[in-house]
């Protein structure tokens, strides 16, 4: 099962707010020995969201979507998810109860009495309107839940809420957690062109199943100048042999190795 991340919000695309979800999600995945396969940034456009979410539901991937699940006019994620699934929206009874608890708590803090039929309360209940058949994602910050349908999970855009909810979503899949995650070993190569090393890279990948070879060229690295970081990543039990083959190939080619890196 691949893992994907969708980050929604015009404020991210315009630069008004800086995204912190991608880095945190990668961190949460690494803690569980998992890796991110893909990520998308999308604006608050319902038609576009519907199309992308339809793809996400059909993919079979484990997907987390951040943002746009509120109840203001610029929030379209809940509606787009329902349209992508071809399901109606409905007020989730457990979500309604959690929202009501939050409303009562807020009223108590302000020395007021909450009313279920107050217009503000009714509007808040809209945040619990999800595609029919959805499950809820608990929100430890303020109780207003997110939701999931199948393998696609929807959390708020606020990092303080989203990040623990992301962790909850990943922990639904303990079978994907690994004691030892993907590791990397690489070396800094000088005196060779990337195109010349491509046959070596292809040979290592074909010889060691499950190992990926990567090449990161630089023309002005602050320490090594013009160079290529050439490496392998994958499961630890095959990594050392693949790395040794890569290193020996570079030496046989006649290029120089400035340093070796382990991550």
* Residue 167 and residue 46 in one domain: yes
The pLDDT assigned to 75 comes to 94
Domain that holds residue 251: 183-262
* Residue 98 and residue 149 in one domain: yes
CA distances from 155 to 71, 81, 114, 138, 233 (A): 13, 12, 26, 9, 31
* Residue 146 and residue 210 in one domain: no
> 3-state class of 229 per DSSP?
strand
The pLDDT assigned to 261 comes to 81
Q: What is the mean pLDDT of the chain?
A: 93
* Residue 163 and residue 190 in one domain: no
Which of 176, 203, 237 delimits the end of a domain? 176
CATH of the domain at 197: 3.30.70.2860
Better-predicted residue by pLDDT, 235 or 215: 215
CATH of the domain at 12: 3.40.980.10
Which of 146, 176, 206 delimits the end of a domain? 176
| Confidence check: pLDDT of 47 > 90 | yes
Quick one: pLDDT band at residue 235, thresholds 50, 70, 90? Answer: confident
> pTM value?
0.82
Q: For every residue of 44-98, which 3-state class applies, written as one string? A: CCHHHHHHHHHHHHHHCCEEEEECCCCCCCCCCHHHHHHHHHCCCEEECHHHHHH
* Residue 131 and residue 154 in one domain: yes
* Overall number of domains in the chain: 2
* Residue 11 and residue 130 in one domain: yes
* Residue 57 and residue 42 in one domain: yes
* Residue 167 and residue 195 in one domain: no
Tokens of 229: 């970081």
Q: How many helices (H) and strands (E) does the chain have?
A: 9, 12
Class of residue 253 by CB neighbours under 10 A (exposed 0-12, middle 13-18, buried 19+): middle
pLDDT tens for each residue of 107-155? 999 999 989 999 999 999 999 999 999 999 999 999 999 999 999 999 9
* Residue 121 and residue 198 in one domain: no
* Residue 151 and residue 256 in one domain: no
The pLDDT assigned to 182 comes to 63
CB atoms within 10 A of CB 47: 10
H-assigned helices in 178-235: 194-207
């Amino acid at each position: 099962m691949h893992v994907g991340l969708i980050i929604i919000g015009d404020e991210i695309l315009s630069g008004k707010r800086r995204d912190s979800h991608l880095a945190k999600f990668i961190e949460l995945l690494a803690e569980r020995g998992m890796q991110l396969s893909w990520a998308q940034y999308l604006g608050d456009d319902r038609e576009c969201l519907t199309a992308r979410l339809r793809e996400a539901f059909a993919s079979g991937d484990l997907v987390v979507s951040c943002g746009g699940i509120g109840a203001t006019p610029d929030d379209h994620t809940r509606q787009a998810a329902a349209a992508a699934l071809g399901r109606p929206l409905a007020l989730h009874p457990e979500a309604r109860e959690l929202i009501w608890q939050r409303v009562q708590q807020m009223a108590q803090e302000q020395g007021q009495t909450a009313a279920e039929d107050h217009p503000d309360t009714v509007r808040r209940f809209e945040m619990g309107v999800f595609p029919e058949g959805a499950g809820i994602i608990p929100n430890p910050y303020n109780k207003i839940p997110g939701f999931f349908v199948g393998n696609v999970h929807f959390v708020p855009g606020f990092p303080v809420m989203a990040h623990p909810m992301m962790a909850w979503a990943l922990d639904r899949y303990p079978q994907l957690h690994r004691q030892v995650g993907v590791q990397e070993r690489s070396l800094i190569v000088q005196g060779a062109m990337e195109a010349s090393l491509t046959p070596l890279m292809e040979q290592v990948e074909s010889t060691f199943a499950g190992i990926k070879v990567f090449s990161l060229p630089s023309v002005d690295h602050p320490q090594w100048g013009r160079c290529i970081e050439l490496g392998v990543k994958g499961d630890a039990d095959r990594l050392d042999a693949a790395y040794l083959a890569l290193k020996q190939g570079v030496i046989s080619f006649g290029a120089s190795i400035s340093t070796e890196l382990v991550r």
